[in-house]
Structure 1
Amino acid sequence: MEKFNGKWELVPESYENMDAFSEKLGVPKEQMDLIKSLVMITTLKLEENKLHVLVEYKDQPMKQELCFTDGEPLDYKELDGSEMTTEYTRKGDRLHEKHKSVSKGTTMEWTVERYIEGDMQVAISSKDDVSMTYKMKRV
């Protein structure tokens, strides 16, 4: 699992099926356009049963630091103020996440599976029968 440790930068052109996935979640078009315009940089550190995450955005002052315990839900506020609950678990050489977001009375739930392929981190986000894939490069 140490291969997840380090700094990762989103490869924006790697998004696959983002529009259909966002529509399935009920994400407004304006918010989807904003997400597409941001380049996320994530620093991960796995140790024992903890996952430390620092999320930053290229050319933006926003950042968020979180610490998850394997198998335990964590409640927090997203940078946009929405309420989030995330639970991560390690399964073999993959990280699995369950997300629940509540924003303006709307609840969204989805899962993410992450794995390493060479020097890329691959993330597959799923909601029911719709999935989105994106990649992050090690920096």
Structure 2
Amino acid sequence: MDAQLGKWKVVKEETTGLDEFLTKLGLPKEAQAAYKDLDYTIETSKDGDSFKSVVNITGRDPLVYTWKLGEAFEYQSLDGTKPMLTVTEEGDTVVESYTLEKFNRQWKCVRKVDGDAMTATTSCEDVSMVQKLKRV
């Protein structure tokens, strides 16, 4: 988890599979448009056994989360839904498991760091989106 601490910026032009992933999640076209233009940074810090993540999305107020590994917490999605999110470590990767019971949706994001580059692979059933982030 320590490798993922600090500030990371998404490299939008390197995102692949976004359209297919958003369609698989069942998001309406207008919600999909917001995700396609998404430009953000995420900064994560650690204090004891707690973590704080601040997501800064261009044109929006920051989203701030305080969480612990293995404990579910409510996450605020861009489309207004609030899935439960549980973050765990599996070897040298961090796995984010999302559950949105209201719409019977589940998906996972696996994050892996290699130096100053992070790859985030988000999957729902047989469809995946890959995002690249760089340390800033």
Aligned 8 A contact 1:49 1:69 in 2: yes
> For 1:51 and 1:131, how far apart are their aligned partners in 2?
26
Aligned to 1:38: 38
1:78-117 → structure 2 map (5 Å cutoff) = 78=77, 80-101=79-100, 106-117=103-114
Over the residues paired in the alignment, what is the CA RMSD in angstroms?
Answer: 1.8
**Which residue in 2 is equivalent to 1:26?**
26
Contact 1:40 1:57 in 2 (8 A): yes
Count of residue correspondences: 136
**Does 1:128 find its partner at 2:87?**
no
- Give the 3 Å change call, closer, same or farther, for CA 99–29 of structure 1 in structure 2: same
What TM-score, normalized to structure 1?
0.87
Deviation at 1:80, TM superposition (A): 4.5
Query: Which structure has more strand as a fraction of its residues?
Result: 1
From the superposition, tell whether residues 131 and 76 of structure 1 become closer, same or farther in structure 2 (CA, over 3 Å): closer
Which consecutive unaligned segments of at least 5 residues does structure 1 have?
A: none
Aligned to 2:66: 67
Verify the 8 A CA contact 1:123 1:134 in the aligned structure 2. yes
2:35 and 2:78 in contact (8 A); partners too: no
Percent identity between the two aligned chains: 30
Instruction: Report if the CA contact (8 A) 2:121-2:128 is conserved.
Output: yes
